[in-house]
Amino acid sequence: MKKLTENIIPILIILSVLMAIAVVATQYNEGDKKPSKLDNLSGPSVETILPKLKPTPWQNFHEGNKNRLSILLTDPSAYWLDFAHALKTIGIPFSITTDINEALQHQVVIIYPLNVRDSVNSYEIELLTHFTLGGGTVVGIHGADKNVGLDQLFGVKSLPLQMKHTKIVFQNPERFNFTNVREREISIGNKGMKNYIFPSRGFNLLESTAIAVYEDGDAAITERRLGKGRLIAVGLDLGQYIHKGYSGRSREFSRPFMERQDVAETKLEDYIDLNVYEPSIDNFLRFMKHIYQEGESDAICLRTVPFDRALTVILSHDMCFSSAYDFALDFAKFEKEAGITTTYFVQTKYILDYLDYAFFNEQAIKILNQIKDLGLELGSHSVSHGQEFKGFRMGTGKEEFPEYNPYNVDKNITIDGSILGELRISKFLIEKFTKNTVVSFRAGFLSDPLQLPEALNATGYLYDSSVLAYSSLTHLPFQLNYNNGATAELNIFEFPITDDEEERPYQHLGRRFNFSKLLNISKNLENYGGVLFLLIHPTMAGEKLEFEKELVTTLKDTAWFGSLKMFGAWWAARNQVEVDVVTENGKKIVYLNAPVPISGLTLQLPNHWMLDKDSNEVNNIVMKQEKNQIQNLSKNNLNNIILNTFSGHRKLIFIEQEPF
């Protein structure tokens, strides 16, 4: 009996191995067999050529009238480009100059940066004093501890640049309408990880007061009132700080990230409802906007949300599981009924591997076409969805279906993948089978390579959504630079994701959105026109669909809803809008230039400006100027007007009323 058992066991083992091989072989055959509609297809045949790195000259931002904020650039190698993009994002009209006399013709001047020893000489300090006495506002970024004259001017004693502060705390947050604790405080470092502390300079107060302080009590942002004007010193390089966020390299400052690090694995349940609101960059932008509006009598800003709605909501779905195709139409039909447009990011998975089946097949194509026919957007979610996409090589730009075969060996390793292959072929296949132009991209696992901006640019994409808001420290879109560097801008915009219901480490816990937490975030975003960008994997209907319905019902009266393609197009058009003001015969003439048509652009005007109804042009382009009704919408007390669709040069005439 013993002998028989001994004989049977090896036989059984051999049999099971053979069976396992047979099962695997069958699966691989299914995977290798391309769905019939993909048969005989090859492409794309046109080679992708990467753009050359061409530094953006600061002179591109030199034009404009005196109403604009002026950046006096003292060091063209500083992070001025990210700073400029940030001002565009928050909607402050600005121009850049290296000439102090030109800068001082404006009412608000930012000197950037001040850390160069002789960035401002004694003669220029005299000019700045005179300018301030007459009512001008000077903001000095980064301070300078070697320039005694500058310290005197700003009424401070600059302390050396150090890497020890982790946060900036606003002393009078109401002034900037900061209500949330993450607005009253800005994160600039993580004590747990020494390398992750951003360099900052403290100030001792002499003839100034502190707008904000570091945790050790040193002043971080100071203000000196002088004559009719004032001087504000900021103790860190805002351009560099913004650059860290915009290039996706600031995760370490992110408070949600730190809190996650702090919680032991065993207590995962405790932080499932984590607040993912991380507006550190947005706070700086709101601060700058406030300073501009206080200091410039003709301050006109562009709101961040179409049609003066309180916030923007983008709903998106990632089609990166075979099960997503079982429920996607339930979501799509609801969205169509609700009258909103959303984005479906499609993974064109035609290879069976560790991650999933080759689910981009005939059935999937049918469903995608139904989604498209409902008027919803199809974007790309790559071919392989490889975890290590951020480490992929760029590729040749000649990758073609079906020869391109990125293969996920396991959850971390993908072989034969390239950045251009992922972008080119997914776009090609979706466009081929749905006759839909693909302009939006989201990386699998949000694993985004530094070279993604130029790769997107070369392959015909316009909008990216591959970062989480809490990693980029902002809930507003921004323009990307070549190689995520600081010198060359590209015509690609990033739209950070507010929340992802399956983000690790939650997925295995079946985390779902927490509705009340999300509404709290949306309330915060309403204060400044942020974007609530949600990612819902349609791997089930039930609970997830109910959540989406509840969200749409709750926010439809306050939010502007749109797909990434819709909002992206609006954002890119807004990015090119120029606003200039001149005063003629006591009237304020506003010159607008929109190279690309834009609908629902909203101007925030000084409080006492009213449209001059006698101007015909006004009636053609203004939808409404709604004093007293704005509270319900954009929640700010300025005087907003919404513009109808227009493009090219337009002129609006305003009369100033007595301030009330």
Interface with Zn ion (CB under 5 A): 318, 320, 444
Task: Identify which of residues 81 and 355 has a Cβ nearer to Zn ion in the complex.
Answer: 355
Task: Identify which of residues 236 and 320 has a Cβ nearer to Zn ion in the complex.
Answer: 320
Task: Identify which of residues 355 and 559 has a Cβ nearer to Zn ion in the complex.
Answer: 355
From residue 370, give the alpha-carbon distance in Å to each of 130, 325, 364: 66, 11, 10
- The angle that helices 80-90 and 280-295 make with each other, rounded to 10 degrees, is 70
Task: Identify which of residues 203 and 389 has a Cβ nearer to Zn ion in the complex.
Answer: 389
Task: Identify which of residues 61 and 445 has a Cβ nearer to Zn ion in the complex.
Answer: 445
Task: Identify which of residues 106 and 442 has a Cβ nearer to Zn ion in the complex.
Answer: 442
Task: Identify which of residues 111 and 535 has a Cβ nearer to Zn ion in the complex.
Answer: 535
- The angle that helices 80-90 and 238-246 make with each other, rounded to 10 degrees, is 80
Half-sphere exposure of 456 (CA within 13 A, CB side): 34
Residues 6+ apart with CB under 8 A from 612: 587, 618, 653, 654, 655
Task: Identify which of residues 229 and 417 has a Cβ nearer to Zn ion in the complex.
Answer: 417
- Nearest approach in angstroms of CB 382 to Zn ion is 8
- Nearest approach in angstroms of CB 245 to Zn ion is 23
Rounded Cα–Cα distance for residues 436 and 430 (Å): 7
Return the amino acid letter for 92. I
CA 390 to chain centre: 19
Task: Identify which of residues 436 and 465 has a Cβ nearer to Zn ion in the complex.
Answer: 465
The pairing of strands 229-234 and 311-319 is unpaired
Rounded Cα–Cα distance for residues 193 and 186 (Å): 17
Q: What is the DSSP string of 333-349?
A: HHHHHHT---EEEE---
- Nearest approach in angstroms of CB 438 to Zn ion is 16
Respond yes or no on whether the N-terminal peptide bond of residue 44 is cis (omega within 30° of 0): yes
Q: Which of 74, 232, 72, 235 lies closest to 155, judged by CA?
A: 232
Task: Identify which of residues 298 and 448 has a Cβ nearer to Zn ion in the complex.
Answer: 448
Task: Identify which of residues 281 and 497 has a Cβ nearer to Zn ion in the complex.
Answer: 497
DSSP conformational letter for 251: G
Using the Cα atoms of residue 281, residue 223, residue 189 and residue 173 in order, give the sign of their dihedral: negative
Rounded Cα–Cα distance for residues 145 and 159 (Å): 6
Rounded Cα–Cα distance for residues 421 and 424 (Å): 5
Rounded Cα–Cα distance for residues 332 and 329 (Å): 5
- Nearest approach in angstroms of CB 594 to Zn ion is 35
Rounded (5°) CA angle 546-552-554: 100
- Nearest approach in angstroms of CB 503 to Zn ion is 11
Q: Is 52 helix (H, G, I), strand (E, B) or coil?
A: coil
Rounded Cα–Cα distance for residues 389 and 59 (Å): 36
- Nearest approach in angstroms of CB 84 to Zn ion is 33
- Nearest approach in angstroms of CB 459 to Zn ion is 19
Q: Is 491 helix (H, G, I), strand (E, B) or coil?
A: strand
Query: Which residue bears the tokens 């959504």?
Result: 465
Residues 6+ apart with CB under 8 A from 285: 86, 87, 89, 90, 476
- Nearest approach in angstroms of CB 659 to Zn ion is 53
Q: Which backbone phi and psi does 48 adopt, to 5 degrees?
A: -85, 125
Task: Identify which of residues 301 and 467 has a Cβ nearer to Zn ion in the complex.
Answer: 467
- Nearest approach in angstroms of CB 323 to Zn ion is 12
- Nearest approach in angstroms of CB 498 to Zn ion is 16
Task: Identify which of residues 356 and 626 has a Cβ nearer to Zn ion in the complex.
Answer: 356
- Nearest approach in angstroms of CB 348 to Zn ion is 12
Task: Identify which of residues 128 and 320 has a Cβ nearer to Zn ion in the complex.
Answer: 320
For 466-495, b/e burial (b = at least 16 CB within 10 A) is bbbbbbbbbbbbbbbbbbbbbbbbbebbbb
Q: Please give the residue whose beta carbon sits closest to Zn ion in the complex.
A: 320
- Nearest approach in angstroms of CB 476 to Zn ion is 24
Q: Which backbone phi and psi does 147 adopt, to 5 degrees?
A: -100, 95
Residues 6+ apart with CB under 8 A from 157: 151, 203, 204, 206
- Nearest approach in angstroms of CB 290 to Zn ion is 39
Q: Which of 295, 164, 294 lies closest to 220, judged by CA?
A: 164
Task: Identify which of residues 82 and 318 has a Cβ nearer to Zn ion in the complex.
Answer: 318
DSSP conformational letter for 99: -
- Nearest approach in angstroms of CB 252 to Zn ion is 24
- Nearest approach in angstroms of CB 444 to Zn ion is 5
- Nearest approach in angstroms of CB 172 to Zn ion is 43
Query: With contact defined as beta carbons under 8 Å apart, do 590 and 580 qualify?
Result: yes
Length of the chain, in residues = 660
Task: Identify which of residues 507 and 631 has a Cβ nearer to Zn ion in the complex.
Answer: 507
Residue 157, token pair as written in the block: 């004693």
